[in-house]
């Protein structure tokens, strides 16, 4: 569609310069889960029409700033005015659908208190286009959104997984003011938003795969600004680690150490190479005994057995939580780039994916493709208190897996992938991100990172003692007084140790 009112093409395919641009804060389940909060109702902010830009343009990262983030979004363009319209009628007032990019500068968020006036209102901060899709030709729950950065897919999600259906946004806003022809509603961004730097190229596309319709790719190139903000006029850009983590999408992506209790401690790695080597030498039974001495009895993941008996696993926990299957929740959380896929895509070398399936074995919780992905990422293993489908194929891949058994059914029969990197329950015990797991043929045990080194050293010492006791029993000595050792046998053992030091 051409724009006869737009002499320089600034407003791209839009029919007129929009009177209002309304954006929603959180709308996709994946983004809400990433942020750790799910709003009960939609909330909004305004962007100026002067922020609109056409496809193929540039966006300037202002001098003195570092956190310019992209947010691929679906834009709704109002076709006919809407005022107090019903939910059933709301979609009839949407004329077109297209791609947009709700760029934001996190350096300027602090003083805007959620209004985003400066952080998202800059010139060029709302690219839209390049083409319009007729809203009559698509189903609002069957649109796909994808974003690429320098050709690499960064975001992919579907309107089927929105917290608030598109028509609801139109109906809700129309309760408060008239939506006029040409007004634009930015409908939120899924997980995957992150920081871009000068030279990066961001592309966004909205399509309806079933209808074969697309907005085309909305292309924006990031440039470096040369004009600094005037410190005598208003607040200056300011960032902290919280803003960095939110802009990049995670602490790890921002290059920051994990917070205490979240995949380890900010003081450093919870599992050093030296500690890993110690734990590989210690049987799980030995660790269990040492933890029991310290009052920790509920640390075994019960009901799981190794697919590869004789294989030892040691690693830190990367957690994934399934909730009981419910059709409407699976529709919103089960497809697309869900929590399960995000964990298997993000697991790091040496980590163990731990899955809470509530001991429900009537469905698979992973199959051969995900097992292959975990192995390619360098995962140390997978532990699930649910079932495994494609059992023989998973076993052939070779990554150590502990499971409650085989089951041919897909995930949706019993489970909804809900969230990840949170505290979970697996096999009757609590597992936190960053906990250390050790598994052998006896089973899997959870080792709190704060006492891991102490427990490992004590367990190794106990292994030496038990080996000496075993030698004495093999030599014909009775176990009475020897196991456990009385004072006489303790003296003999200590004397033997002196000869070895």
Q: Which CATH number is 273-449's, of 3.60.20.10, 3.40.50.300, 3.50.30.40, 3.40.710.10?
A: 3.50.30.40
* CB of 23 closer than 8 Å to CB of 44: yes
**CA separation (Å) from 203 to 177, 428, 459?**
32, 45, 55
Closest to 426 measured CA to CA, from 351, 338, 326, 319: 319
Question: Peptide bond before 484: cis, by omega within 30 degrees of 0?
Answer: yes
Distances from the Cα of 490 to the Cα of 86, 476, 480, angstroms: 83, 18, 13
Reference 159, options 183, 135, 124, 131; nearest CA is 135
As given in the structure block, the two tokens for residue 392 are: 């023989």
Whole-angstrom Cα Rg for the chain: 28
DSSP β-ladder status, 152-158 and 72-78:
unpaired
Token couple for 387: 């079932």
CA 489 centroid distance within chain: 55
**pLDDT, position 266:** 35
Using a 10 angstrom Cβ sphere, with 0-12 exposed, 13-18 middle and 19 or more buried, the burial of residue 92 is middle
Beta strands in 325-386 (DSSP E): 351-356, 381-384
pLDDT at position 486, please? 85
By CB atoms closer than 10 A (0-12, 13-18, 19+), residue 269 is middle
Q: Rounded CA gap, 107 and 234, in Å?
A: 13
Taking only the tens of pLDDT, the chain with its 501 residues reads 444 445 457 787 899 999 999 999 999 988 887 777 788 899 999 999 999 999 999 999 999 899 999 999 999 999 999 999 999 999 999 999 999 999 999 998 877 777 899 999 999 999 999 999 999 999 999 999 999 999 999 999 999 989 999 999 999 999 999 999 999 999 999 999 999 999 999 999 999 988 899 999 999 999 999 888 887 888 788 888 888 888 888 777 777 766 544 444 333 446 888 999 999 999 999 999 999 999 999 999 999 999 999 899 999 999 999 999 999 888 888 887 788 998 998 898 999 999 999 999 999 999 999 999 999 999 999 999 999 999 999 999 999 999 999 999 988 899 999 999 889 999 999 999 999 999 999 999 999 998 999 999 999 988 877 788 888 889 888 888 887 888 888 888 878 878 876
Give the H or E element holding residue 263: none
Dihedral over Cα of 389, 392, 398, 400: its sign: positive
Q: What is d(CA 434, CA 150) in angstroms, rounded to the nearest whole number?
A: 32
Cis before 399 (ω within 30): no
pLDDT of residue 267: 35
Distance of CA 175 to the CA centre of its chain: 34
Quickly count: other Cβ atoms within 10 Å of residue 376's Cβ: 12
Q: Distance between CA atoms of 194 and 59, rounded to whole angstroms?
A: 15
Identify the three-state secondary structure at position 247: helix
354/276 Cα distance (integer angstroms) = 18
Q: What is the CATH number of domain 21-248?
A: 3.90.850.10
Q: What pLDDT does residue 38 have? A: 81
Please state whether the peptide bond connecting residue 130 to the residue before it is cis, i.e. omega within 30 degrees of 0: yes
Q: Which two tokens stand for residue 40?
A: 């009960």
Structure confidence at residue 307 (pLDDT): 95
| Rounded CA separation 33/275 (Å) | 33
- C-alpha 266/C-alpha 162 separation (Å) is 34
For residues 290 and 459, the answer to whether their CB atoms sit within 8 Å is: yes
Kindly report, residue by residue over 385-432, the tens digit of the pLDDT. 999 999 999 999 999 999 999 999 988 899 999 999 889 999 999 999
Decide if 439 contacts 306 (C-beta within 8 A).
yes
Strand, helix or coil for residue 429: strand
Q: What is the pLDDT of residue 258?
A: 62
- Closest by CA to 149, choosing from 191, 196, 103, 186, is 196
Residue 341 burial (10 A CB sphere; 0-12, 13-18, 19+)? middle
């Amino acid at each position: 569609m051409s724009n006869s009112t737009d002499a320089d093409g600034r407003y791209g395919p839009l029919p007129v310069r929009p009177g209002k641009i309304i954006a929603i804060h959180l709308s996709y389940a994946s983004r809400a889960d990433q942020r750790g909060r799910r709003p009960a109702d939609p909330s909004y902010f305004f962007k100026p029409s002067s922020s609109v830009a056409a496809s193929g343009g540039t966006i300037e990262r202002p001098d003195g700033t570092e956190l310019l983030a992209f947010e691929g979004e679906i834009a709704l363009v109002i076709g006919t005015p809407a005022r107090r319209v019903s939910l059933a009628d709301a979609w009839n007032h949407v004329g077109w659908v297209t791609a947009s990019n709700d760029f934001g500068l996190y350096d300027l968020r602090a003083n805007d208190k959620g209004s985003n006036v400066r952080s998202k209102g800059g010139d060029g901060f709302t690219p839209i286009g390049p083409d319009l899709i007729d809203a009559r030709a698509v189903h609002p729950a069957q649109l796909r959104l994808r974003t690429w950065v320098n050709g690499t897919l960064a975001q992919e999600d579907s309107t089927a997984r929105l917290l608030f259906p598109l028509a609801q946004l139109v109906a809700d806003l129309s309760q408060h003011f008239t939506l006029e022809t040409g007004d634009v509603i930015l409908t939120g961004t899924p997980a995957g938003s992150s920081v871009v730097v000068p030279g990066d190229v961001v592309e966004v596309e909205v399509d309806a795969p079933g209808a074969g319709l697309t907005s085309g790719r909305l292309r924006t190139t990031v440039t470096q600004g040369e004009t600094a903000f005037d410190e005598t006029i208003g607040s200056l850009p300011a960032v902290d680690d919280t803003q960095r983590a939110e802009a990049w999408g995670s602490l790890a992506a921002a290059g920051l150490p994990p917070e205490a209790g979240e995949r380890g401690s900010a003081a450093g790695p919870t599992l050093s190479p030296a500690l890993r080597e110690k734990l590989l030498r210690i049987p799980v039974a030995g660790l269990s005994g040492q933890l029991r001495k310290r009052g920790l009895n509920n640390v075994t993941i019960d009901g799981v057995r190794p697919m590869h008996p004789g294989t030892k696993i040691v690693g830190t926990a990367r957690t994934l939580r399934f909730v009981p299957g419910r059709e409407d929740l699976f529709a919103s959380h089960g497809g697309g780039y869900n929590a399960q896929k995000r964990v298997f895509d993000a697991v790091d070398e040496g980590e163990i994916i731990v899955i809470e399936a509530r001991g429900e074995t009537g469905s698979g919780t992973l199959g051969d493709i995900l097992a292959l992905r975990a192995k390619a990422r360098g995962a140390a293993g997978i532990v699930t208190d649910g079932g495994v489908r494609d059992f023989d194929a998973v076993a052939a891949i070779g990554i150590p897996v502990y499971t409650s058994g085989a089951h041919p059914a897909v995930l949706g029969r019993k489970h909804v992938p809900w969230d990840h990197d949170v505290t979970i329950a697996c096999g009757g015990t609590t597992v936190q991100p960053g906990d250390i797991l050790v598994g052998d043929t006896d089973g899997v045990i959870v080792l709190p990172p704060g006492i891991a080194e102490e427990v490992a050293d004590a367990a190794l010492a106990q292994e030496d003692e038990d080996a000496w006791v075993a030698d004495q029993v093999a030599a014909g000595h009775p176990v009475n007084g020897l196991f456990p050792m009385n004072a006489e046998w303790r003296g003999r053992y200590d004397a033997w140790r002196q000869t070895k030091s």
